[in-house]
Amino acid sequence: MTAGPLSAEPLVSWRPGATRDAILEFVNQVTTPGSSSYVPPGERIAVIEHDGVLIPEIPRVQGVFTLQRLRTQRDRHPEWETLMPFRGALEIGERFFREVDPETALVVMAATHSGLTQSAFRREVQSFWRTARHPAHGVAWSRTAYLPMQELLDLLRSQGFRIFIVTAGSADFVRAISQDMYGIPPERVIGSQVETGLVEEDGQLELRRIPGDVLLVDGAQKVLAIDSQIGQRPLVAVGRARHGGDIEMLRYSERLGRPSLQLLIIHDDFERDFALFDEDPESLAAAARGGWRVVSMRWEWRRLFAFEPLPEALQ
């Protein structure tokens, strides 16, 4: 793959300043032949979290899907009315997925996302994405991709990078829209997965989703999954400053004495989107040690969504 020229104004939704300059300078360094920091196209790998980085994290879209499945299946599972954590999710609704730890959320997801074949599950997910609307923004959920991140994907792609989504969320859930929303094909989505087993149905081999253990791709497991499925150390990593689940992935993309790029996104735009103000100190400390760029959505992104009116600075 040969790299094309940078577009006339890349990262136009990013505020001019140190972070935007650092990204452009890094991309220029590693893609300029003859530069001492040059990295051949084959090694230009970027890994990016999904929830809270490419798309708003509140409410969690997969949480909403899970609740929908929980409610349609509750008649067949009377035990859920009393059994935790299912009872909690049914009573509290979407906020449940915001407040519990990832392992507890996974118990509910695993139970509601299993029992069907992969083909049937993928049809359910696709049908959800076709109709789901974001409750706060009032647009189709599939239109809530953050515009500055889309511009970053475009910039990296134009310079020969292969981009992978590496998410603690369900791989199958994100794969349903990764091509349409981000131009990222399903095989470049790495994420948490339930177990599957091979079965024969109507003379054809099918995979059935087994309730039980889930492989949670978070923390150190993200690095193991990157190594196992990509087989190379990434050059760019973008994560978010919550739970510390992206620290290992970002650290793994650091290269001793050679340039690499790490962005740590802070979900702090309480006016245009939603803010939690719960950045974990460990992620911020790791950013300071590693020289990562900490990206405040509120400050660094002039425009969040394509459906937003063009702000004055961009008119």
Per CB under 8 A, the list member of 78, 203, 281, 309 interacting with its own copies is 203
Nearest to 45 by CA among 236, 278, 315, 240: 236
Does the footprint of its own copies cover residue 205 (CB under 8 A)?
Answer: yes
Q: Which is nearer to its own copies, 103 or 187 (CB)?
A: 187
Shortest separation between residue 181's beta carbon and its own copies, angstroms: 14
- Burial class (CB within 10 angstroms; exposed 0-12, middle 13-18, buried 19+) of 54: buried
Does the footprint of its own copies cover residue 6 (CB under 8 A)?
Answer: no
Q: Please, which residues have CB within 8 angstroms of residue 34's CB and are 6 or more apart in sequence?
A: none
Nearest to 237 by CA among 229, 228, 246, 245: 246
Residues 95-124 that bind its own copies (CB under 8 A): 118-119
How many residues contact its own copies, by CB under 8 A? 39
Per CB under 8 A, the list member of 88, 93, 102, 186 interacting with its own copies is 186
Does the footprint of its own copies cover residue 57 (CB under 8 A)?
Answer: no
Does the footprint of its own copies cover residue 126 (CB under 8 A)?
Answer: no
Per CB under 8 A, the list member of 193, 266, 273, 302 interacting with its own copies is 193
Per CB under 8 A, the list member of 99, 227, 278, 282 interacting with its own copies is 227
Shortest separation between residue 157's beta carbon and its own copies, angstroms: 13
Residues 139-178 that bind its own copies (CB under 8 A): 162, 164, 171-172, 175
Shortest separation between residue 205's beta carbon and its own copies, angstroms: 5
Amino acid identity of residue 221, one-letter, is Q
Does the footprint of its own copies cover residue 223 (CB under 8 A)?
Answer: yes
Does the footprint of its own copies cover residue 179 (CB under 8 A)?
Answer: yes
Does the footprint of its own copies cover residue 196 (CB under 8 A)?
Answer: yes
Stretch that binds its own copies, among 17-25, 54-62, 224-232, 276-284 (CB under 8 A): 224-232
Structure-block tokens of residue 283: 């992620």
Does the footprint of its own copies cover residue 2 (CB under 8 A)?
Answer: no
Q: What mask of x and - would describe binding to its own copies in positions 238 to 257, judged by CB under 8 A? A: ----------x--xx-xxx-
Does the footprint of its own copies cover residue 73 (CB under 8 A)?
Answer: no
Does the footprint of its own copies cover residue 3 (CB under 8 A)?
Answer: no
Does the footprint of its own copies cover residue 128 (CB under 8 A)?
Answer: no
Shortest separation between residue 57's beta carbon and its own copies, angstroms: 23
d(CA 126, CA 296): 32
**What is the chain's Cα-based Rg?**
20
Does the footprint of its own copies cover residue 4 (CB under 8 A)?
Answer: no
Q: Which residues bind its own copies (CB under 8 A)?
A: 42, 45, 118-119, 162, 164, 171-172, 175, 179, 185-189, 193, 196, 198, 202-205, 207, 220, 223-224, 227-233, 248, 251-252, 254-256
